[in-house]
Amino acid sequence: MTTAKNQTVARAPAAPATRSALASALLNRRLWLGVLGWTLALVIFFPIFWMIVTGFKTEAEAIADPSLIFSPTLENYAEVQSRAGYAKFALNSVVVAFGSTLLALLIAIPAAYSMAFLPTKRTKGTLLWMLSTKMLPPVGVLVPIYLLFRDTGLLDTRTGLVIVYTLMNLPIVVWMLYTFFKDMPKDILEAGRMDGAGTLQEVIYLLLPLTLPGIASTGLLAVILSWNEAFWSLNLTSSQAAPLTAYIASFSSPEGLFWAKLSAASTMAIAPILIFGWLTQKQMVRGLTFGAVK
Amino acid sequence: MSAGRVTPAGSFPATFMVTDMNKTRTSGRTIGGLRTLSLQAPAVTLLFLWMIVPLAMTVWFSLQRYNLLMPGMTGFAGLENYEYLFTDPALWSAMGTTLLMVGWVLVITVVGGTLLAVLFQQDFMGRGIARVLAISPFFVMPTVSALVWKNMMMHPANGVLSWVAESLGLPAVDWFSSLPLTSVIIIVAWQWLPFALLILLTAMQSLDEDQVEAARMDGAGPIAIFFFITLPHLKRAISVVIMIEMIFLLTIFAEIFVTTSGGPGLATTNLAYLIYIRALLDFDVGMASAGGVVAIILANIVAIFLVRMVAKNLES
């Protein structure tokens, strides 16, 4: 933009023809960038688009040559529910993802509060240590967790998954809340304290309402991570507590190869999370990089 | 680490500190400390248990003769499990596969993510929507993306890719039987490219536009600007992307589980999948735990660098 302007200024006496040539060159540049950007975006998005489309085809159309001309049917959506009991798995996902997120927020809010507002010499060390627990590869502790779950009857229970997901996300939740709390203007809390608010009142009436957007995006990130988690769900659940990740995996067996049904089930499984992701993409970076990129 | 060097005063505006000190003076220093302790206690205790108990158990099991199929044969094994593990050709094949997966996915996502971030930073029609579409794969659960790719994209007869190849007069590729590892790498890269893009786009936003403008006035072309301004600016974000991806990519599991089950042969068995085979298919607890210890050590080598970097960032 500015380049063009400067050049036009430099050639002030030039005829209007040159100016419009420059303007059209600029327009051309924007046009080509647009074509390139959109092409790449559509190529990257294509598998998701194709999955959504296939969900509305019949099984015969799904394995025929790729085509966008067909009469859409909702049959797969109905059958996924009636034959496989999609709702049960969806309910498991909802309970586990939201349950673990609420629990993690409940444990993390006091911790993040004290780290942001009552820091001690050890605060930074504690934060970094929490981050380091996140780097423990799950497969490294698969054996003990599996045996502990087997012996305590937590195998294939939603409670078991809630426990694992809460702990899995706790470091990220504490970190993200900590960065949001630190961004909060200190004067406001101060004013509240002057007016005689105790810690609890300060948290409930000032901190939580003021940092609600931050807490919400932290919660959404935890929901997304739990919803999509597919190591523990595949290893610790079978039929009772299986969330959607494990249910979708059951389509991988050769006798379960129904593309249209797989697509319908997958579309339902990813739709809510895709929307959450679009809503929180900006704030999510903080949580995903532990505040190292803002 | 350098935790001791940071004083609370260093990280907070003076006004807050003054009143905070007043408060501690009236309520007594220990109460402040106690309060901090009790507020953090649940989080710290739970994470400590979550980390230490299984970790200790893994190390302990790795030194035991312990197979769930042979209940009679138990006892201390010393380093026997490690000996078996390190002389098992499957381990070295799995290490090689892990290395190839991590390496290729990193190259594709970091190079592709950087170029896409530069492109999506330019001004064009509907840029916001194009960005959203491009980062979407990151929010798709791994089992869905793996199965959608395996069936609808890469199926040798009915997949979109083979249809495209045929339309262009090229031979169709039977992705999962002739190029199993490449296929898994493509799927995983498709999931993580949007992650790199998302992080790098965020980092791009803090790029100083005036600096770019000044360089352009001095006659720098777009390529020079990219290499001498954009890339140095993104350096830190890129290394964060690399380290975070490495930690997650070291233990790719679901994508392999639903597509190839580690095969054909051991072609797509990485370290995580090998441990899974030993633990939950062979029920060899001792051997699987030894593998787990190796995975933990590998992840920690990367983690040390990442934690250091985050620590540095915390200071500034």
Residues 39-68 of B with CB under 8 A from A: 39-40, 42-44, 46-47, 50-51, 53-55, 57-58, 61
Please, are residues A102 and B38 in contact by the beta-carbon 8 Å criterion?
no
Chain B residues inside the 8 Å CB shell of A254: none
The backbone region for B243, taken as left when phi is positive above 0, alpha when psi lies in -120 to 50, beta otherwise, is: alpha
Quick check: bond before B264 cis, omega within 30?
Answer: yes
Give the distance from residue A205's alpha carbon to the nearest chain B alpha carbon, in angstroms.
18
Q: Is A254 on the interface with B (CB under 8 A)?
A: no
Chain B residues inside the 8 Å CB shell of A292: 236, 240, 309-310, 313
Pairs of residues, one from chain A and one from chain B, whose beta carbons lie less than 8 Å apart: 334
Please, are residues B253 and B273 in contact by the beta-carbon 8 Å criterion?
yes
Q: What is the pLDDT of residue A164?
A: 93
Please, are residues A175 and A133 in contact by the beta-carbon 8 Å criterion?
no
What angle is formed at CA B58 by the lines to CA B57 and CA B63, rounded to 5 degrees? 95
Nearest C-alpha neighbor of B251 from the set B142, B150, B111, B140: B142
Q: What is the pLDDT of residue B300?
A: 85
Nearest C-alpha neighbor of A5 from the set B216, B119, B208: B216
Helix (H) or strand (E) holding A206, with range, is none
Task: Kindly tell me if the per-residue pLDDT of A161 is higher than 90.
Answer: yes
* % pLDDT > 90, chain B: 21
Helix (H) or strand (E) holding B107, with range, is helix B89-121
Among the partner-chain residues B33, B139, B217, the one whose CB lies closest to the CB of A120 is B33
User: Using one digit for the tens of pLDDT, what is the confidence trace for B6-18?
Assistant: 333 333 333 333 3
What angle is formed at CA A187 by the lines to CA A182 and CA A189, rounded to 5 degrees? 70
Chain B residues inside the 8 Å CB shell of A66: 160, 163
Please, are residues A219 and A105 in contact by the beta-carbon 8 Å criterion?
yes
Q: Say whether B151 and A259 touch across the interface (CB within 8 A).
A: yes
Give the distance from residue B78's alpha carbon to the nearest chain A alpha carbon, in angstroms.
18
Please, are residues B106 and B193 in contact by the beta-carbon 8 Å criterion?
no
**Rounded mean pLDDT of chain B?**
81
Chain B residues inside the 8 Å CB shell of A6: 217
Please, are residues A289 and A84 in contact by the beta-carbon 8 Å criterion?
no
* Mean pLDDT confidence for B229-234: 89
Chain A residues inside the 8 Å CB shell of B145: 47
Numbers of helices and strands, H then E, in chain A? 15, 0
Task: Kindly tell me if the per-residue pLDDT of B22 is higher than 90.
Answer: no
Chain A residues inside the 8 Å CB shell of B153: 47, 50
Chain B nearest-CA residue for A189: B16
User: Using one digit for the tens of pLDDT, what is the confidence trace for B274-283?
Assistant: 888 888 887 8
CB burial of A188-219 (b: ≥16 within 10 Å; e: otherwise) equals ebbebbeeebebeebbeebbeebbeebbebbb
Task: Kindly tell me if the per-residue pLDDT of A5 is higher than 70.
Answer: no
Give the distance from residue B58's alpha carbon to the nearest chain A alpha carbon, in angstroms.
6
Domains of chain A, each with CATH number or no CATH? 2-54 (no CATH), 86-288 (1.10.3720.10)
Domains of chain B, each with CATH number or no CATH? 2-62 (no CATH), 81-315 (1.10.3720.10)
The backbone region for B23, taken as left when phi is positive above 0, alpha when psi lies in -120 to 50, beta otherwise, is: alpha
Alpha helix (H) residue ranges in A183-211 = 186-194, 199-201, 208-210
Task: Kindly tell me if the per-residue pLDDT of B104 is higher than 90.
Answer: yes
Tell me which of B255 and A2 has the higher pLDDT. B255
Among the partner-chain residues A51, A137, A246, the one whose CB lies closest to the CB of B148 is A51
Task: Kindly tell me if the per-residue pLDDT of A47 is higher than 80.
Answer: yes
Please, are residues B272 and B248 in contact by the beta-carbon 8 Å criterion?
no
Nearest C-alpha neighbor of B284 from the set B77, B28, B116, B141: B77
* % pLDDT > 90, chain A: 24
Task: Kindly tell me if the per-residue pLDDT of A6 is higher than 60.
Answer: no
Task: Kindly tell me if the per-residue pLDDT of A131 is higher than 90.
Answer: no
A16 — pLDDT class (breaks 50, 70, 90):
low
User: Using one digit for the tens of pLDDT, what is the confidence trace for A84-105?
Assistant: 788 899 999 999 999 999 999 9
Chain A nearest-CA residue for B112: A40
